[in-house]
């Protein structure tokens, strides 16, 4: 994917990643910590995580196309390097979402008193918090580096217009 209505696809697709990764991360953590949330979300949880996972390589692929069409500099290269690291986090969110969904499909009475189910739930909650935090921090770092690459010399620190708001 390269252009959408004359704009680089990356600048459009990145918005899906910026929204979906934190949303999925929060949903996975909430579902892992509170099984009632997972049961209420049902199959939406792993489907959301799958859509999030699919959006990452689409966005990075579009970003690689864009990288070839802009002047190469250290900021662009840094952004591209960071962007390549998001896929494992998105995959982790998907795997955890599927596992949480799968383990909470049983009724609460089937899960009560089962020591192994409690251990699995606690492990899933801990892993979910760790992967969610990593994914969110990574999205922030990637976005910050992308903004710096795009805007490093693209604006004036002082107003250039008349400032009266009648443009």
For residue 45, is pLDDT > 80?
A: yes
Question: What is the value of pTM for the model shown?
Answer: 0.86
Q: Report how far residue 35's alpha carbon sits from residue 37's, in angstroms, rounded to the nearest whole number.
A: 5
**Contact residues for 109 (Cβ-Cβ < 8 A; gap 6+):** none
Q: What pLDDT sits at residue 111?
A: 55
Whole-number pLDDT of residue 112? 56
Neighbours of 104 (CB within 10 A): 25
The model's pLDDT over 74-91, given as tens digits with 9 standing for 90+, comes to 999 999 999 999 999 999
Q: 């002047």: which residue's tokens?
A: 71
**d(C-alpha 145, C-alpha 79), whole Å:** 5
Main-chain dihedrals φ then ψ at residue 4, nearest 5 degrees: -130, 115
- Identify the pLDDT of residue 160: 72
Cα dihedral 47, 51, 54, 55 in deg (nearest 10): -160
Residue 70's pLDDT band (boundaries 50, 70, 90)?
Answer: confident
Q: What is the per-residue pLDDT across 99-111, written as a single tens digit (0 to 9) for each?
A: 999 988 865 555 5
Q: Worst-scoring range by mean pLDDT, 18-27, 120-129, 133-142? A: 120-129
Mean pLDDT (the chain, rounded): 89
């Amino acid at each position: 994917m390269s252009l959408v209505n004359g704009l680089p696809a990356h600048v459009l697709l990145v918005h899906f990643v910026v929204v979906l990764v934190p949303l999925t991360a929060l949903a996975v953590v909430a579902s892992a910590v509170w099984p009632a949330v997972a049961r209420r979300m049902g199959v939406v949880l792993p489907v959301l995580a799958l859509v999030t996972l699919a959006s990452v390589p689409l966005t990075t692929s579009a970003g690689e196309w864009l990288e070839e069409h802009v002047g190469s500099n250290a900021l662009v290269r840094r952004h591209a390097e960071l962007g390549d690291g998001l896929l494992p986090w998105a995959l982790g969110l998907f795997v955890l979402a599927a596992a949480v969904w799968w383990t909470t499909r049983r009724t609460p009475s089937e899960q009560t008193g089962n020591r192994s189910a409690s251990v699995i739930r606690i492990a899933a909650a801990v892993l979910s918090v760790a992967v969610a935090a990593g994914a969110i921090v990574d999205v922030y770092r990637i976005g910050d580096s992308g903004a710096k690459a795009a805007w490093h010399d693209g604006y004036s620190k002082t107003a250039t217009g008349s400032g009266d708001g009648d443009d």
